[in-house]
Amino acid sequence: MTWFGLSFDTLALFALAALLLAATPGPVWLYLISRTLAQGRRAGYCSMLGVAAGLAVHMLLAALGLSAVLLAIPFAFDAIKLAGAAYLLWLAIGTLRGGGLAFTPQALPPVADGVLLRQAFVAALVNPKVAVFYLSLFPQFVDPAAGSVLAQSLLLGALQIAIAAVIDVTLVTVAGVLALAIKRRPLWLRVQRLALGGTFGVLAVWLAATPSRTAP
């Protein structure tokens, strides 16, 4: 039995690869854990949905071949990378300055669900390494001779996003339990703003330092 030309064995192998990648700690883990610990489980779930939406856009662009065209343009990779780093740095500064003195023992104010979704979506969208990931992974499993490349790519992308979502939901749920245990501790109230703002800053530096040679 095949789906758009992809056999069950191929899909199972791809699912295993996607699971191993999703279960490997990285920037998304850091982003979701910091959001959840600082602002609660609801903020973590909203951020997870925003990240998933950003991945979906990247996946669609890769399936249509637009990412390959964009990343082939000179300086496009660097432009997207620096734009993403600037956005994360802006989030870091806004978080650190939002409540006055960083060490004031005051909980972070609630953030609207739409804002959380938008911030996570943009953070995922302006990360060119995601586009490179899809462009590198799809050709390993797509078989042009067996059916539509677009349909196969969309199926693989949907499977990858679903697997990543399961891992992220688990991650946010566990972090949410920890957040409930520490949210009323005075020490955490003093450092949570620094923790979240510092996370954004680390991600900004990580993205800015991504070698341009990563682009195909």
Q: Which segments within the chain are labelled E, that is strand?
A: 2-3, 6-7
Give pLDDT tens digits for 77-118.
888 888 888 998 998 888 877 544 333 444 566 788 899 999
Q: Which two tokens stand for residue 178?
A: 């920890």
Helix%, strand%, coil% for the chain, nearest 5: 75, 0, 20
Could you identify the residue written with the tokens 């295993």?
Answer: 16
DSSP conformational letter for 214: G
Residue 151's contacts (CB-CB under 8 Å, 6 or more residues apart) are 4, 5
Give pLDDT tens digits for 45-56.
999 999 999 999
Give pLDDT tens digits for 173-211.
999 998 887 776 766 666 777 888 888 898 889 888 877
In this predicted structure, what is the pLDDT of residue 98? 59
What SS3 class is residue 98?
Answer: coil
In this predicted structure, what is the pLDDT of residue 100? 43
